[in-house]
Structure formats: C-alpha cells, structure tokens
Chain A
C-alpha cells in the first residue's frame, strides 16, 4: 500500500477533511456532528507504507492492520469499516457532581 493510496482512502472513500498543520496532515471525519481525528500522515512519508506506518494509521481508525489494508484495497466496504470504527472508538462518560 502506498501513502497516496492511504490518502485517497481517507479523502475519497471516507470523505474526511484534510487539515495540514505543520509537518503533518490530519484527517478529520464528522460523525453525528462531532469532529474526530481519524488519521495522521507525515509530509515526510513517501512511497510504500511499511508495517509500522500502516499500523499507526490503522490504530487511529480503531482497525487492525489487515482491516485497514482491506479498507484501502476496497475489499472492506466503507460502511462496514465505519460500523467497526463506531463500535470500537473510544467513548467517554462525563460524570458531573
């Protein structure tokens, strides 16, 4: 998988917005009105992603590495990926006194 393929998946398949801040591109996805950071790619990354870089991207989307590769490679449908992400993403309960 190349860096460009991963970028295309975030913007094309997912419809995430790009926020270019400094040396990195953050991918921001709105779900039910809330803005989630779902990916980060360094401007220095080029060519093929190695396993560690792919794992970093997968983790931000709460996916296993193979699931992320399947999503970018179109064998995991976007809707299915979103179901997994919504199920696994962190949730926080705010306790008020």
Chain B
C-alpha cells in the first residue's frame, strides 16, 4: 500500500499530457505507465474505483458526427476518469458521459452521446423537467450546425 492509502502503485505526479486544447489527438498517457492489473485489484465495496481523474478541455470547433453534424461554438470543460474497466469522460454542463475501454472509444461515445442527448431533448421539448430543460438550453448555446 502506498502513502496515500491506496493499493495502487503510481508514479506521482501522473505523467499525463497537458489537458488544454486536447481533443481527438489525445489518446494515451505520456510515458505509458498506466497499466492497471485487474488481478491485483482489491475492491471490497465493489464500487467502480477511479484510478485517476484529469480535467479536460474540449476545444471549440470539435465536430459531433451524425446527420446533421454539429460543432462546439466554444470550449467545454470535462473530466477524464480512468477506472479499472476503462475510460469515462464526463461533461457536467451537458449531463453526459462517454465510456469505453480506451480513450478513443470513450471520446467517440461522448461525442455521439452529446449529439443523441440533444436530439432526444429536442424531440421531448414540450414538458421537459427543469434539469433537462437547462441541459437543452446549454446544448443550444454551445452547439451549431457544422458545414457538411
């Protein structure tokens, strides 16, 4: 067990890339020491433990795939969370997450999640609850149609 009381052995500080302006190009931690060993994982509460949390800025002009395509008008803050199962990227302002076994798959899931949530909320706009209405307002503020 290390000094922080964790059973995980990390080099500290975490050798990750700068989180400003990263997007599709960010795929792996710099240094490549992030190798969770599931066989050594001790989790008495069976909760999904976060191995590392890193702030993320999703850059403006990031395109959400689909038809029609949308793009971000301005940067959005998020959090990358590495768990024993994979990678979780959360954008609180949109109340959405992307999950995958790798950073790339989590990133792809996040972008399609944001687009799908927007489509879902627009369809259900009449009668939305206050929290969902606020998410829809934020999505409308941050998204615009991208050129095809």
Give residues in A with beta carbon < 8 Å to B.
19, 21-24, 26, 28, 30-31, 33-37, 40, 42, 44, 50-56, 65-66, 89-92, 94
Contact = CB atoms under 8 A, between A and B. Distances in A.
Interface string B36-58: 00000001011111000000000
Contacts of A23: 109, 112-113, 116
B83 A34 contact: no
A52 B90 CA distance: 12
Q: How large is the interface on B (under 10, 10 to 19, 20 to 34, 35 or more residues)?
A: 35 or more
Interface stretch (B2-10, B27-35, B118-126): B118-126
Contacts of B68: none
A61 B129 CA distance: 14
6 contacts: A35-B128, A42-B99, A53-B85, A56-B97, A65-B47, A90-B130
B48 A31 contact: no
Contacts of A50: 48, 85-86
A34 B95 CA distance: 17
Contacts of B48: 50-52, 54-55, 65
Contacts of A30: 127
Contacts of A33: 127
- The SS class assigned to the A binding surface is mixed
A21 B119 contact: yes
A25 B45 CA distance: 29
B66 interface: yes
Nearest to A91: B130
A21 to B, nearest CB: 4
Contacts of A53: 85, 99
A93 to B, nearest CB: 9
Interface in B78-122: 83-86, 88, 95-97, 99, 109, 112-113, 115-117, 119-121
Contacts of B120: 19, 21, 26, 28, 37
B132 A36 contact: yes
Given A34-B130, A36-B129, A22 B124 contact: no
Contacts of B113: 23-24, 40, 42
